[in-house]
């Protein structure tokens, strides 16, 4: 993990501001969803990208019963018939 050297204080409501340089670099825009993970004593933020529940692909996904599945996995499932 690479340190940015940036330190921010949390406000009374538990919020922090991500610097514009980081948001621009990571292509995070206003109202973009952010995933929150924990790794031991670390909090990891990641731009949320919906992915296939079977393979993790983020491209060519379709929604089936509120679950994302990519077209390649759909083809593989059809081949099992």
CA distance 54 to 70: 8
pLDDT confidence of residue 48: 86
CA distance 26 to 47: 8
CA distance 74 to 72: 5
Average pLDDT, the chain: 91
> Which structure tokens are listed for 27?
């292509």
DSSP characters over 38-61: EETTEEEEEE-----TTT---SSE
Is the pLDDT confidence value at 50 over 90? Answer: no
Query: Which of the four pLDDT bands, split at 50, 70 and 90, describes residue 41?
Result: very high
Query: Which of the four pLDDT bands, split at 50, 70 and 90, describes residue 80?
Result: confident
What structural domains and CATH numbers belong to the chain? 1-48 (2.10.260.10), 50-81 (no CATH)
């Amino acid at each position: 993990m690479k340190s940015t050297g940036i330190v921010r204080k949390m406000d009374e409501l538990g919020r922090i501001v991500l610097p514009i340089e980081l948001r621009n670099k990571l292509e995070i825009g206003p109202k973009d969803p952010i995933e929150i993970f924990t790794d031991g004593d670390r909090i990891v933020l990641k731009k949320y990208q919906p992915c296939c529940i079977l393979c993790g692909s983020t491209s060519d996904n379709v929604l089936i019963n509120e679950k994302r599945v990519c077209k390649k996995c759909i083809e593989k499932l059809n081949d099992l018939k």
